[in-house]
Chain A
Amino acid sequence: MLKYDLVVVGGGPAGMAAALKAKECGVEKILICERDETLGGILEQCIHTGFGLHYFGEELSGPEYAARFIEQVEKTDIDVKVNTMVLDITTNNVVIAINKQDGLMEISATAIVLAMGCRERPRGAISIPGTRPAGVMTAGTAQRFANIDGYLPGKEVVILGSGDIGLIMARRMTLEGAKVKAVCELMPYSGGLTRNIVQCLDDFDIPLKLSHTVTEIRGKDRVEGVTISKVDGNLKPIPGTEEYIPCDTLMLSVGLLPENELSRSVGIRLDKVTGGAVVDQYRETNHEGIFACGNVLHVHDLVDFVTQEAQTAGEGAANYILGKKEYADYRIHTKGINGVRYVVPQRISMDGSEEPVKLYFRVGQVFTNATVKVTRNGNVIYAKKKRKLAPGEMENIVIKPEDLQDFSEGDYLFIEVEG
């Protein structure tokens, strides 16, 4: 059996940042298992720019952002196994993985960081009626065909869902000479970043049809067209609003789901809203010594935040491995209410730490000129005016250590939006 202090599952931005941070903190034997051919994760197919503005203060492409971390990993003695799939994690922290060179490996780990990322919701999850021809694919799959394999997934495209990948692919397909006929969004607002709507749709005169969905797919072999319809306040298609758009491709950008099958198999408690693990401020799960970060924990809008979160997890794992972890006297919970969909971390370990705690959250609808409030037993301990809050953009607030005094086991910190 192989033995490591830390095994990181996933070599995308989260996995790399966590491993590097753990190394920096003094952890000796670290292994990253990556299922794809190279480190970098999905960033490798994100050849557009817009990465790194927060973290590096400059605008990078996905592969450039990834390369900065890959170079750092290469300079360390962190072991990397690519084309390596983790099949299972046992309850006593043995990671079972396979690849062509090493065969089946059983790797004993003191700590594990889960950084498997997320997957796209497929057509079936939203049950679009009609035929089942070729040419229906998720935006991420189309992105891989175009940017990694060098193939054009379609020439006349309708995109359902205005998540960031959908918006990015609208522009990418247009630049490749394809005609993007419409981007339909079920909700009355886009799920993507404002900057992407401007730079990917508006700049190319691609119509964004809010409160619209695809109500039928037509075509025997390959998609021949889709019918789109306007939806009412209950998101139900309104009869009589049907519009048929001939196209050869329907791309779906209808949501991302953290990929937590491994976490589930080892008995890690998951948050129903985020789809990721329930963690404390060090990103430790309910399974001692197993940490989670990045899109496997909750879907982020920017990779910069993934990096920061992964560093937190890497440091947490390092402290655990090096015996520096302070055990909590008790834990308190965080909870989003009144417009706040979720908060990560979901709990705070009260271990006497003097560090501030950063809480990430997302709202469930668009708010303008609203106030974000954090309350405790009805008392407001934090309030801040926000010009705009949107579901597509992740927000964060920092709770000062002095505001975390004198809690008792099981107490709640509520985050809400007013206005």
Chain B
Amino acid sequence: MSYDIAIIGAGVVGSLIARKMSKYDIKIALVEKCNDVAMGTSKANSAIVHAGFDAMPGSLKAELNVRGTKLMGYLCDELSVPFKNIGSLVIAFSEEEMETLQELYDRGMENNVPGMKIIGQDRLHELEPNVSKRALGALWAKTASIVCPYELTLAAAEVAVLNGVDLYRNFAVNDIAFENEIFTIKAKNGKEIEAKYVINAAGIYSDYIASLIGDNSIEIVARKGEYLLMDKSLGGVVNHVIFQCPTKMGKGVLVTPTVDGNILTGPSAKDIEGKDDITTTTDELDMVRKYTSYSIPNVKLNAVITSFAGLRAHSTKGDFIIEPSKVNPHFINVAGIESPGLSAAPAIAEYVQDIMLDVCGRLPKKVKWHRTRPEPVRFRELSTVERRELIENDPAFGQIVCRCETVTEGEIIAACHGPIPAVDMDGVKRRTRAGMGRCQSGFCGPKVAEIIARERGKDLLEVTKFGDNSNIVVGKTK
């Protein structure tokens, strides 16, 4: 297949770029090495929309963070993605850290961050009664928010697909040739596509993808962050994103509500060798526990329902790299998108759009462009009246499959037939929350697997957790 633009990587950045570019009347491919979208950093991060006071003034990070945060609320509203503007608090435990707050505040002012305020101990404890009594004050940033990062990615990719973008899954790019102004992009599974322009949004692998055209200017270090996710029964222990003062390695361990009402703590920060180590470790998680208790002493650490690790795509240059490659101007690098990458993502999409209009010249717009996607049913959020009506229209919504998160069979069937169908257990989980609750799919796992098999016309033996050889069962009983 020949395309005008091939976007490599269906994370939040690649998917939002795909959505943005899908309004033009051109052919676009979005290629992803995994079995689904949002399988890398986009599914395992802090899920925070940062206010924008961290990044150095004048950097791309600063500019795009502040702009992205401004856009995020509207975007999530448009795409029906869970989003809550809850504000953040950076907590200071010493006079020295109070000075750091002032530095952050000043930097925020330079970055044009609205809604910041330094507050004292009393106001802090009024806002967050469970924060350590030793905290002296905090930087309160009202524009900080929380979002569901994988749902944002999925929603953006769905809109792109509804507007004619071709999504290729399990397309792990391992060769790119450039001849007669056309890129030939080959995947490990033998498939190939052609494109006039390439956008490299490959996350932690963006240096490798750039190297395939001979651009060795990018170096990405994978920086691992481990997290603990707590039961919803802890909901309300904090109401804002609670940061500690930043260190060289990142923004410290945060404690935050998630859009679904759980409590998330983490991340640790450790540079790793290679790019595929997403193991959790006792040492790092103990560290997360320790720092969590430091901020919120009475948090019940035994309420953990799962732990996970994600990799930040840290560029050795320190800033986002969003520009045409020096080696080939038709190859656009969108690399080094570490924190505040999620916050900046909507602005990155805009920024890349401008670059594309620059390199491609004027692009024709589609006559009809779908701004959004069909809103998914979220049974757990509906009122009794709405639930009753829904079941009357479609009895599949009358069968609860995931009891912990109140997910119905109707929602799982819909996920299997959406614009980007869920094809595995984790795909259903991210789309519906089935299996994300306190029993972690103990009860609903077999039922979800059965529904996936049925809806896709396959045997249970073929159902996987997340593609490749991650099969759920290995054979039939005697």
Contacts and interface: CB of A to CB of B under 8 A. Distances in A.
Q: Do A and B bind each other?
A: yes
Interface of A: 35, 83, 85, 87, 96, 98-104, 106, 119-120, 122-125, 127, 129-134, 137-138, 140-141, 144-155, 176-177, 215-216, 220-222, 248-249, 261, 264
Interface string B435-452: 000111111011000100
A124 B304 contact: yes
- The residue among B229, B395, B445, B477 with the most chain A CB atoms within 10 A of its own CB is B477
B478 A177 contact: yes
A104 B384 contact: yes
B163 to A, nearest CB: 33
A100 B305 contact: no
B127 interface: no
Contacts of B471: 134, 222
B306 interface: yes
Contacts of B308: 132
B442 to A, nearest CB: 5
Nearest to B464: A134
Contacts of A104: 384, 387-388, 391, 398
B177 to A, nearest CB: 29
Interface stretch (B61-69, B148-156, B275-283, B316-324): B275-283
B217 interface: no
Contacts of B273: none
Nearest to B308: A132
A304 to B, nearest CB: 24
A106 B399 CA distance: 16
Contacts of A154: 473-474
B473 A100 contact: no
The dominant DSSP class at the A interface is mixed
B442 A127 contact: no
B476 A134 contact: no
A129 B388 contact: no
A140 B441 CA distance: 11
Interface string B451-467: 00000000011001111
B475 A155 contact: yes
The dominant DSSP class at the B interface is mixed
B469 interface: yes
A124 B306 contact: yes
Nearest to B461: A151
A100 B399 contact: yes
A152 B474 contact: yes
Contact of A150 (B387, B443, B477): B477
23 contacts: A35-B403, A85-B399, A87-B400, A87-B406, A100-B391, A101-B398, A103-B395, A129-B279, A129-B280, A131-B279, A132-B308, A134-B464, A134-B465, A137-B442, A138-B442, A149-B450, A150-B477, A151-B461, A151-B476, A176-B477, A220-B468, A222-B470, A264-B233
A83 B399 contact: yes
B2 interface: no
Contacts of A141: 441-443, 445-446
Contact of A122 (B392, B440, B476): B440
